[in-house]
């Protein structure tokens, strides 16, 4: 199989999970008003906030240092580097979905101060491999889903390879090539790997599965034909 040959359509969810892996949350309906959600977190009645539209500057400021907030989902961003500095003040944050949020390397340095973060989803990032490397400071990071125009080549694979706590990785239209995949092959706990537009050869995939026979792999939204879980969907 080549890296671009589709086999089946896979429905995307907010965080990357493999078939048979962690159960994904179902799609959510329209979120309640931000002020109500924030009040519920502040009073200990909730631990997540879902924003359907961009937050105002005042709303962002009201998040600063908010204890008890464990999950923040921005469906239509925008979180820029200045807003990432606010995210870095959230003491309990574990899950971040930041769509339409062009965070640069500076923004990722701020995110890396969220030391309880386990799931990070930034599908339209503006960072480089340098920004990815800063996530080494997050020892709890288990799931990373990321894409962006400044991510490509071996250096992306090498940066991801430093995130040794990762269990699930999705690179969205990131052309890491054979050398990038070889770098990722060293991740000790990776269980799920999704690559779109990676530009990896059959020979490189053969080498990958020799050392990682049990990793669940999707390529361009389809099971790789060597994936050990390909018959279980």
CATH label, 34-223, candidates 3.80.10.10, 3.40.640.10, 3.90.1150.10, 1.10.10.10: 3.80.10.10
Confidence (pLDDT) at 228: 54
How much is the pLDDT for 221?
75
pLDDT at 10: 31
Q: Is the pTM of this model over 0.75?
A: yes
Q: What's the average pLDDT block by block, 10 residues per block, for the chain (233 residues)?
A: 36 39 44 93 97 94 98 90 98 97 97 98 98 98 98 98 98 98 96 97 96 95 59 45
Q: Please give the pLDDT value at position 76.
A: 82
3-state SS of the chain?
CCCCCCCCCCCCCCCCCCCCCCCCCCCCCCCCCHHHHHHHHHCCCCCEEEECCCCCHHHHHHHCCCCCCCEEEECCCCCCHHHHHHHCCCCCCCEEEECCCCCCHHHHHHHCCCCCCCEEEECCCCCCHHHHHHHHHCCCCCEEEEECCCCCCHHHHHHHCCCCCCCEEEEECCCCHHHHHHHHCCCCCCCEEEECCCCCCHHHHHHHHHHCCCCEEEECCEECCCCCCCCCC
pLDDT of residue 225: 55
């Amino acid at each position: 199989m080549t890296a671009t040959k589709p086999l089946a359509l896979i429905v995307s969810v907010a965080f990357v999970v493999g078939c048979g892996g962690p159960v994904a949350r179902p799609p959510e309906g329209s979120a309640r008003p931000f002020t109500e959600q924030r009040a519920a977190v502040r009073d200990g009645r909730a631990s997540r906030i879902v924003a359907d539209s961009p937050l105002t500057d005042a709303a962002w400021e009201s998040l600063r240092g908010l204890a008890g907030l464990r999950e923040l989902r921005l469906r239509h961003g925008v979180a820029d580097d200045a807003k990432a500095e606010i995210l870095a003040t959230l003491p309990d944050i574990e899950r971040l979905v930041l769509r339409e949020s062009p965070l640069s390397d500076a923004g990722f340095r701020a995110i890396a101060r969220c030391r309880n973060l386990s799931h990070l989803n930034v599908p339209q990032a503006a960072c480089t491999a340098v920004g990815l490397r800063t996530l080494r400071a997050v020892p709890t990071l288990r799931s990373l889903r990321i894409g962006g125009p400044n991510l490509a080549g071996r250096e992306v694979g090498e940066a991801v390879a430093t995130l040794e706590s990762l269990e699930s990785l999705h690179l969205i239209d990131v052309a890491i090539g054979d050398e990038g995949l070889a770098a990722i092959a060293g991740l000790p706990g990776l269980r799920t790997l999704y690559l779109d537009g990676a530009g990896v050869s059959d020979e490189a995939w053969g080498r990958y599965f020799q050392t990682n026979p049990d990793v669940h792999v999707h390529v361009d939204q389809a099971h790789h034909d060597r994936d050990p879980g390909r018959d279980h969907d």
